[in-house]
Amino acid sequence: MKQETGIEHTARIIDAEIIKEVMNERQKEIQELALKIFQRRLDFTFKPDAKQEDIQTLVDSEPFQEYLEEATKQYDKRQAALEVNKTYPVVEVPANGKSGMMGGAYCLAFVYSKHKGNVVVKGYMREVEEYIKKNFKTHYFVNYSLWYMGSHRDIWKFWKSGIGIHEPTRSTKRGKIKPKDRKFNVRPYVDWVYDSEEEREKRWKEAEEKALYFKRMPKRWIPEFDNF
């Protein structure tokens, strides 16, 4: 059996320490997310003077394990989304301190741009959206993956006002779902409130003619989007 050299032994120890540090950071983030889920479900917040040891006792308790399990699923899902897009440049946008439900959601924005390629922008929704509008300006679409107090949702947006990206219809109470409605579709909006009936019909027909359907949204800008 080959004897381990001093350098190899040191390298192994350092590698083990790095792994331990990464695992500790992961556990810390999962605990923080679990506490947010816990507070959201019970509709309360910890007092500013709450002792850290009391909070840790709660985290270590048996009933709290269900929140840790849910947080682990949410955390791994978020990390998996980043792993899939690990070849994309990542920009982290700092928070500006303004609070709000929409702006306060943590966000992973996957930007697919004609001129700047694919980029992941991380931060809170308000700052991320402001950054994208300022730095990409035109010819892009984006998937905002929002994470707030343990809940998650996706919002798709097209750079141009008046063009919408609609997710597939999963279920409806209005009858059978058409095959094309089970797909993503990109199309002009129709104003169902202020347009006259005649104008709505005209715009709906134009939107139908221009609509693009996808089983999955493209992971890059495609020439067909230039038509909008």
What's the pLDDT tens digit per position in 21-50? 545 777 888 888 788 878 777 777 777 777
pLDDT digits (tens, 9 = 90+) for 148-177: 766 678 899 999 988 999 888 776 666 676
Report how many helices (DSSP H) and strands (DSSP E) the chain contains, helices first.
5, 8
6/155: higher pLDDT: 155
Domain boundaries, the chain: 1-84, 160-227
184: β partners: 214
> What confidence tens digit (pLDDT) does each residue in 174-207 have?
667 677 878 899 988 876 666 677 777 887 788 8
Contact 82, 120 (CB under 8 A): yes
Q: How many Cβ atoms sit within 10 Å of the Cβ of residue 15?
A: 10
**Cα–Cα distance for residue pair 78/80, rounded to 1 Å:** 5
